[in-house]
Amino acid sequence: MLESLRSRLGTTLLFLAVAVVAWLGLFDRAERALLPTTPAQAGQERLEANLTRAAALFGTARALNAVISVLQSTEVTGGVVVAQGTVSPGQALDPLNDLVERFSSVMLTATVALTGSVLLVQAGDLYGFAVLLPAGLVLAAAALWLPGSAGAAMRRAGLILLLAAAIAKLGLPATVMATEAVAERLVDPLLESGDARLRAIRLPGLDSTGAAGEETGETGGMLETLRQANDIPAQINRAVAGAASLADAVVDLTVAYAIKIVVLPLLTLWLIARLAEVLIGGLLPRRQGP
């Protein structure tokens, strides 16, 4: 019994000492002093690169959407003898315009998700070891002195906080880096191919990068560009001819970003969380004796 008491007391003092060190930010300072680039910084750099790319694709998608909308609204007047009427051949682009509009929504969602991920990694780096780790250690230390269900509940709460600290400080950056490592082989080639095909689309009112030029930023400017074209139906036929390539690029990019932004991070984070739970649960001592 005396040996058990000494063991609990020693473990409690150790937990409290580590909690104080973590709360003072000494672990974070040591990490920044010893590592040229912290895991959080490396993960944040990758996320910001993806954010820049997603934002550029969102801008390109919105420009394509605007130009196709203008082409849809273009009317051609013609007549034979006494019959004359107005037709809108651009309405053939309506399904493609819907697809591009949905793609722009996907890219907007990806941009928001990546921005949130950057903030989450920053918050985890700031509060993981400085707040969550000390709180979890204090609860784990208290659980050693509480009997029965109260001690079990306290231990469980401490385990949850320690798990949250590990995920916030190390798990989130590890998720980003692991996702990028897998995506470089599986998803990035599809992204690069779709991006290149999307930027290769040539429509009236778009510059060579696939974005709307300054002079075509408004609908009036795009209409003026169309008016300056010698053959508006030919421009529409050109857009219709490129619809298949544009649709393929949009579908590829949508699937690639869904895998890279949603599927891979969630799967990786789940695996890391399960591993951390097993390791921390095995290392965290249980109360023994009265």
SS (H, E, C) the chain: CHHHHHHHHHHHHHHHHHHHHHHCCHHHHHHHHHCCCCHHHHHHHHHHHHHHHHHHHHHHHHHHHHHHHHHHHCCEEEEECCEEEEECHHHHHHHHHHHHHHHHHHHHHHHHHHHHHHHHHHHHHHHHHHHHHHHHHHHHHHHCCCCHHHHHHHHHHHHHHHHHHHHHHHHHHHHHHHHHHHHHHHCHHHHHHHHHHHHCCCCCCECCCCCECHHHCCHHHHHHHHHHCCCHHHHHHHHHHCHHHHHHHHHHHHHHHHHHHHHHHHHHHHHHHHHHHHHHHHHCCCCCCC
Q: What is the pLDDT at residue 79?
A: 42
| The residue to which tokens 């996320």 are assigned | 47
pLDDT tens for 4-51 read 788 889 989 999 999 999 999 999 999 999 999 999 999 999 999 989
Does the pLDDT at position 290 exceed 70? no
pLDDT tens for 178-214 read 988 888 888 888 888 888 877 776 655 555 445 544 4
Does the pLDDT at position 271 exceed 60? yes
Q: What is the pLDDT at residue 258?
A: 87
Beta-bridge partner residues of 87: 76
Q: What is the pLDDT at residue 222?
A: 44
For residues 222 and 203, the answer to whether their CB atoms sit within 8 Å is no
For residues 269 and 164, the answer to whether their CB atoms sit within 8 Å is no
What CA–CA distance (Å, rounded) separates 5 from 48?
A: 51
Mean pLDDT of 60-74: 75
What CA–CA distance (Å, rounded) separates 38 from 174?
A: 11
- Cα dihedral 214, 220, 224, 227, rounded to 10, equals 150
For residues 213 and 205, the answer to whether their CB atoms sit within 8 Å is yes
pLDDT tens for 82-137 read 434 444 555 666 777 788 888 888 889 889 989 999 999 999 999 999 999 999 99
pLDDT tens for 211-232 read 544 444 444 444 444 444 445 5
Does the pLDDT at position 284 exceed 90? no
* Burial classification of residue 59, based on how many CB atoms lie within 10 Å of its CB (0-12 exposed, 13-18 middle, 19 or more buried): middle
What CA–CA distance (Å, rounded) separates 246 from 240?
A: 10
Q: What is the pLDDT at residue 223?
A: 45
Rounded to two decimals, the pTM is: 0.74
Top pLDDT among 168 and 217 is at: 168
Q: What is the pLDDT at residue 152?
A: 85
Q: What is the mean pLDDT of the chain?
A: 78
Q: What is the pLDDT at residue 75?
A: 54
What CA–CA distance (Å, rounded) separates 164 from 166?
A: 5
- CA 47 to chain CA centroid, Å, is 7
